[in-house]
Structures are given as structure tokens and as C-alpha cells.
């Protein structure tokens, strides 16, 4: 699963790094969306049972799957329901498609939406309109859905939405803030997608956001939304990009604050049933499970990790240092587990990298010379930022390797060029597309 494992284990704290890599591979395997759906859903005769809740199949079944994990989720549903499925569509990221027999597949842009994001949304809307009173709509939601499923409000072009999205991604805004804006310039987000569905809606959700707030995951396409146009305005103001977003977006939000544009869904719908089937909490538990299997005491420090990536890396490395030197708050050996989502604030030009790579690189300084230590930070979807790496791994030897090659860690962090630094230190982690997306995972091994 980790394509460059031999290179990573060619030097340094091999035992610690091998332990970390085994844990990561176990987590990705256990968080497989296909497996998760099969474990969460069963079909009993003419009934669909989801986590103990039963739904009678009377009419037709329609399927709309959105997100990086949509294809394996849809494959599981196809195998469970077979010919009972009337029609369906799965919208996923380029390179994440797998063959499906009854459900159409559309690949689209992520993290920046493109024309296919709109085309997929149009097809999904066509399907939803066909759902009758006796029918069931199964919605499969996973991370990445916000960019992959796009239908801008009237007067807002796709390019204007893309520009707004880019500004938000570079601003350092947290995912719930980004999605607050996305929902208020979209025709399908913030519960709007299902508000007029006549039949039963079963929504199976894999979380990629800290705190697992359903209204944030993929911008809450099946969930009521507590945020308002005013909240969207405040996000853009607070991150100093209100004056930079396209005029069409500003105008729509201003009209929305005056009550002249439709708000997002504000009430629970009796026919809509949302089920959270996997999350960062589960991922951390999978990691602990593997660490214990390997014979190491394991501790979940948090499943709600947030903050600027390079600062979070320093904090995690400080905890590792305390464990290594003073046997507190945990005694050696120990595996420390963190789940969540860090961010990177970019001002001006940037090099190549992502939040997990920055987190790993920033931790290298404080764990230098702490023999038997390593820290790995990966995005479970296999893509960290706009790169082909899932994340980064460093150990007590990494800093020496970098310095021997004339690389100043702080300079590379300031230029957001962690990829190139880690490449020199054989510290990039490559998994390829994992076809899942359950936040980021950080594992620190202290031997």
C-alpha cells in the first residue's frame, strides 16, 4: 500500500518507522469505504437495515454518491441491492473511479471544481427529481464532495466559484468556515439538494472534518444548516478576502443578508435519515488496535486535531520529546495517535507541499537525536495538498540529512516547500489514491 516503503526504511530509526508504516497501512485498509458500507448496511428481504434502522423497499431505489470515497461506497451498495437499483450516479475525483455496473461514474476536479463538477451535479439533480413518494434515495457522502458536487447560484459563474474557493483555501480558513461560504453560493449544498425529495432519503456519511459535524461534511448536502449569509460574510471579512472575491459572490451574499436570496435548509426533514458510518474517531481506534497488535502501548491523544500545520508539528514533537526524555505523560515505549485536520496559511508565492508534509517537516527539529523516534503525518485519501504524496515521515536522523544537503528547515517551511525538503530526506510517503477520505492521521512512535 505504501509504495516507497523500502526507501523510507533504508536508513535511520527503522524499527520506529516500520511500526508507523504498518499502523498507517492498517488504518487505510480498515477505513476502506467498501468495507465500512458492507459493515453498516444489510438487506433483509424487502427491507434495508442501517445500524438497526429498517426501511421498507416499496418502489424504486436511486443512488447518488458524492466524494472521494463515492465509487467503493457505491460498489458496496450495488452488491447489496443489485437489480433493485433503478438509476444512480457516483461523482468522484480524477483517478478515483472504479467500474460500476448500475451506477454511472463522473470524475471531476478536486480541490478546485471544474466543468465536470457541474455536469455531475446536473445529473444528480435529474435523478433526484425522479424519486417518487414510494421510492428510496440513497445518498453516499464522503470528503471532497464540496468541490466535486457544484451548482452555483444564479448569477455566479463556475469561474467565480473557483476563484472564491481558491481564495478560501489559501486564506488559512478552517474547513467549516470554507463550507459556510460554499453553502451560501450553491444551489445544492446546505440541505438544498434533498429539500424537495418526496421519498425516503438514506444518507450514509464518512466524515473528513474535525468534530464530525454532519452539516460540514461535503457542505451538508442532506443536512440542515445552522449557518447564515451573515456568517458567510464574516468568514470572508475575517480572513481579509471579502474585497478579493468576485462581485457576483459579494452581491449574492449581500442580497442574502437582506433576505432577498434563499437561505440554506433550517429544519430537520422527517423523510431524511443521516447515518455517520466512519470518522476520525474510528480511524484513531484502528491505529490503536494495530499498535497494540504490534506489542506497543498506544494512546489516542486527540481525534480533533486542528491548527496551523507547522505549529501543530512543533507541539507534537514537544510531546514526543517529553515522553522520550522524562517518561511523561506516557512511558516509553509508546505510540501516540492524533486525528484531525491541520491547515496552511499561504501569503504570496508558495512552493510544493501540503499540511501533512509541513507538520512532519516542522517536527524534525525537536526530535533530532532522539534515537528510536519517528513521526508520520498523512492524509488518508492519499493526496496531501496539491501533491502526489500522502504526507511525510521524519525521524531522529532527518534533520542531520537535511543540514548535510544544505537545507534550512525554517526557510523551506516559510516558503511552503516541504515536499522538496522531505524528498531529499526520503521522507515523503506515497500511497496513491486510497479511495477513502477520513481526515488526516498523525502517528508518533517513541521507542
- How far lies 434's CA from each of 261, 319, 390, in Å? 39, 29, 9
DSSP state of 21: H
CB proximity list for 302: less than 8 A, separation 6 or greater: 338, 339, 340
Supply 107's cell numbers.
470524475
The list of the chain residues with pLDDT below 50 reads: none
pLDDT of residue 216: 86
Query: In CATH, which of 3.90.600.10, 3.40.1480.10, 3.30.70.580, 3.30.450.70 is domain 5-30+280-446?
Result: 3.40.1480.10
CATH classification for the domain delimited by 33-151+186-227+264-278, as one of 3.20.20.140, 3.40.50.10180, 3.30.930.10, 3.40.1280.10: 3.40.50.10180
Q: What is the mean pLDDT of the chain?
A: 96
In the three-class reduction of DSSP (H, G, I as helix; E, B as strand; rest coil), residue 32 is classed as: coil
Domain ranges of the chain: 5-30+280-446, 33-151+186-227+264-278
Give the percent of the chain with pLDDT over 70.
100
The CA distances from residue 178 to 137, 147, 234, 240, 345, in Å, are 27, 11, 11, 13, 13
What digits encode the pLDDT tens for the residues 75-103? 999 999 999 999 999 999 998 999 999 99
Predicted confidence at residue 50, as pLDDT, reads: 97
Burial of 294 (0-12, 13-18, 19+ CB in 10 A): middle
Question: Which pLDDT does position 383 carry in this prediction?
Answer: 92
| Helix intervals (H) in 96-174 | 115-130, 145-148, 158-171
Q: What pLDDT score does 418 carry? A: 98
Cα-only R_g, the chain: 22
Q: Report the pLDDT value the prediction gives residue 111, as an integer from 0 to 100.
A: 82
Query: Rounded to an integer, what distance in angstroms lies between the CA atom of residue 18 and that of residue 147?
Result: 35
Q: Are the beta carbons of 64 and 128 closer than 8 angstroms? A: yes
Predicted pLDDT at 148: 95
Amino acid at each position: 500500500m505504501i509504495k516507497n516503503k523500502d526507501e523510507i526504511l533504508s536508513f535511520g530509526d527503522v524499527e520506529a518507522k516500520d511500526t508507523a508504516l504498518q499502523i498507517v497501512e492498517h488504518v487505510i485498509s480498515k477505513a476502506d469505504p467498501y468495507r465500512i458500507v458492507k459493515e453498516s448496511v444489510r438487506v433483509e428481504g424487502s427491507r434495508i437495515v442501517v445500524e438497526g434502522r429498517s426501511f421498507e423497499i416499496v418502489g424504486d431505489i436511486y443512488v447518488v454518491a458524492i466524494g472521494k470515497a463515492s465509487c467503493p461506497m457505491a460498489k458496496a451498495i450495488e452488491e447489496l441491492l443489485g437489480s433493485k437499483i433503478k438509476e444512480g450516479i457516483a461523482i468522484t475525483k480524477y483517478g478515483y473511479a472504479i467500474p460500476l455496473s448500475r451506477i454511472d461514474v463522473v470524475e471531476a476536479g478536486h480541490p478546485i471544481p471544474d466543468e465536470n463538477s457541474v455536469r455531475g451535479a446536473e445529473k444528480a439533480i435529474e435523478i433526484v427529481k425522479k424519486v417518487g413518494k414510494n421510492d428510496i434515495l440513497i445518498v453516499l457522502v464522503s470528503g471532497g464532495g464540496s468541490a466535486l458536487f457544484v451548482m452555483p447560484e444564479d448569477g455566479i459563474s463556475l469561474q467565480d466559484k473557483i476563484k472564491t474557493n481558491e481564495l478560501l483555501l489559501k486564506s488559512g480558513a478552517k474547513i467549516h468556515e470554507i463550507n459556510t461560504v460554499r453553502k451560501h453560493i450553491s444551489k445544492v449544498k446546505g440541505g438544498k439538494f434533498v429539500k424537495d425529495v418526496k421519498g425516503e432519503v438514506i444518507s450514509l456519511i464518512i466524515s473528513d472534518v474535525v468534530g464530525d459535524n454532519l452539516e460540514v461534511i461535503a457542505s451538508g448536502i442532506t443536512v440542515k444548516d445552522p449557518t447564515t449569509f451573515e456568517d458567510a460574510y464574516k468568514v470572508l471579512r475575517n480572513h481579509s478576502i471579502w474585497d478579493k472575491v468576485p462581485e457576483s459572490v459579494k452581491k449574492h451574499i449581500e442580497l442574502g443578508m437582506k433576505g432577498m436570496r434563499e437561505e440554506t435548509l433550517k429544519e430537520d426533514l422527517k423523510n431524511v435519515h443521516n447515518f455517520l458510518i466512519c470518522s476520525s474517531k474510528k480511524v484513531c481506534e484502528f491505529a490503536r488496535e494495530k499498535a497494540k497488535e504490534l506489542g506497543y502501548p498506544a494512546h489516542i491523544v486527540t481525534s480533533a486535531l486542528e491548527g496551523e500545520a507547522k505549529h501543530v508539528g512543533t507541539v507534537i514533537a514537544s510531546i514526543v520529546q517529553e515522553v522520550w526524555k522524562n517518561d511523561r505523560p506516557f512511558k516509553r515505549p509508546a505510540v501516540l495517535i492524533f486525528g484531525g485536520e491541520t491547515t496552511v496559511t499561504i501569503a504570496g508565492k508558495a512552493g510544493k507541499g501540503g499540511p501533512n508534509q509541513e507538520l512532519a517537516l516542522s517536527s524534525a527539529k525537536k526530535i533530532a537525536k532522539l534515537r528510536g523516534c519517528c513521526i508520520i503525518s498523512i492524509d488518508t485519501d492519499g493526496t496531501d495538498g496539491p501533491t502526489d504524496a500522502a504526507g511525510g515521515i521524519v525521524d531522529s536522523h532527518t534533520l542531520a540529512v537535511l543540514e548535510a544537503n544544505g537545507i534550512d528547515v525554517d526557510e523551506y517551511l516559510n516558503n511552503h516547500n516541504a515536499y522538496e525538503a522531505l524528498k531529499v530526506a526520503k521522507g515523503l510517503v506515497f500511497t496513491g489514491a486510497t479511495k477513502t477520505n477520513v481526515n488526516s492521521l498523525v502517528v508518533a512512535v517513541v521507542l
